[in-house]
Every structure is written in structure tokens, then in C-alpha cells.
Amino acid sequence: MNKKYWFIPILIVALNALAIALQWSTLPEIMPAHYDLEGNAGGTMPRTILLLYPLIGGAISGVSYLIARFWKRFEAALVILSSGICLVIFCSAMVSLTAGKVPAFMLAEPVILLAAIVVAAIKSRKRA
């Protein structure tokens, strides 16, 4: 695995931060949250919570990178897994930013995470 692949989770985190920054001034102070498949909100949250999304994605990617530096055997799996987690976080932000009007984002979260876990497990086994 090459270090160049770490740009993937970094790019996802950057896109998440950019999407939030572009929509920030149009967002209400208290936002709907936890949408169902029909787009109905089941709760609320302050918009400042959105600022945590890219920070959490960046922290997860950073920790994964540090672990991969010491255990090269798991680097591919960690890139894939951290990318998957960052995509889930990105999808959560998109659901909030689109006010639940794009249910495809809601369905993408579990699919992306499951795919990342499966691919990471396969990659780890190949390296063993």
C-alpha cells in the first residue's frame, strides 16, 4: 500500500467541511435531525453539531494513519475502513444539509459502511 491512498479519506473530510461551509449561512440555528425514509424529522440539533462531522472524520483518519504506520499489514484495511467511516459521516451531513429531502443519502450510510468492512476484512486476509 502506498501513502498516496490516504488522500481518499482526507478528500472526503475536506468535501464534508466544504459542503457545510457553503451551506452554513442558510442553515437555521436549530435544525431537524434523524430523518426517516420518508424525509420526516424525528428530532432537532443545533447547527454547530455539524462542525463536529469533519472533525470526527479527520480524527478517525488521523488515528487510522498512525496505526497503519506501525502495523503496515493493516494499512490497506485501515484506508478502506477510514474512508468508509468518513463517507458515512459525509452522508449524515448531507442528510442534514438537504433537510431529509434526499433519502438516497440515508440508504447510502449503512451500505458504505458494510462495504468498507467487507473489503477491509478481505484485504487483511490477503496480507496474512
Q: Quick: pLDDT tens for 56-96.
A: 999 999 998 898 888 888 788 788 788 878 877 887 787 77
* DSSP class of 88: H
The pLDDT value given to residue 117? 75
- Comparison of pLDDT for 98 and 102, the residue scoring more: 98
The tally of domains found in the chain comes to 1
Mean pLDDT, all residues of the chain? 79
Share of the chain above pLDDT 90, in %: 17
Burial class (CB in 10 A: 0-12, 13-18, 19+), 128: exposed
Residue 93's domain comprises 3-127
What gap in Å lies between CA 17 and CA 108, rounded to an integer?
19
Q: pLDDT tier at 127 (50, 70, 90 boundaries)? A: low
Span 37-55, pLDDT tens digits = 676 777 888 999 989 999 9
Most confident residue range from 3-12, 32-41, 112-121 = 3-12
What gap in Å lies between CA 85 and CA 57, rounded to an integer?
7
pLDDT exceeds cutoff 60 at 20? yes
